[in-house]
Amino acid sequence: MPKRKRLSSSHDDDEESVTSESSSAAPSAAGIGTRKRRRCGTVSTVQNPIDFAKIQVNLNTHQYDDLSQLASDIELLVENAKQYYPRSSREYTDAVALWNAFNEHRAAIVPEEALSEKKDDEKPEKITLRIGRMTCVE
């Protein structure tokens, strides 16, 4: 008889343990997949799933022509999390914090004026993602 897998996670604060019998029960820590969730008799589905693994593949294979394309995927990831999770959840607040941190770091790397003044004939910059920070290289 095969053993049932049981995943458990506990937090240091007063939250109760989270237990799941299936890895597809909720979005993974890496992002949102095509998942459904019932809440108050309704079903919520993420229409355009994306996760950090897909974003990393796009970075590694140079699929992004400029920073705005990366920002678009990060924003999609955040909006999916905000759609999927209740507003009072840790995942929702983490998604909002991620978007705010991304925008702060993007502004430090590329001033907003430079983003709006970019000419169409300019060669796009390559984007390199490093653990802990994002840098742009030419």
Rounded to two decimals, what is the model's pTM?
0.55
* Range with the poorest average pLDDT among 59-68, 81-90, 115-124, 128-137: 128-137
Instruction: Report the 10 Å Cβ neighbour count for 80.
Output: 23
| pLDDT reading at 132 higher than 60 | no
| pLDDT reading at 83 higher than 60 | yes
pLDDT digits (tens, 9 = 90+) for 22-72: 333 344 444 444 445 545 544 567 899 999 999 999 999 999 999 999 999
Residues 6+ apart with CB under 8 A from 31: 49, 50, 51, 52, 53, 54, 77, 80, 81
- 49-138 to CATH, choices 1.20.920.10, 2.60.40.10, 1.10.260.40, 3.30.420.40: 1.20.920.10
Hey, where are the domains in the chain?
A: 49-138
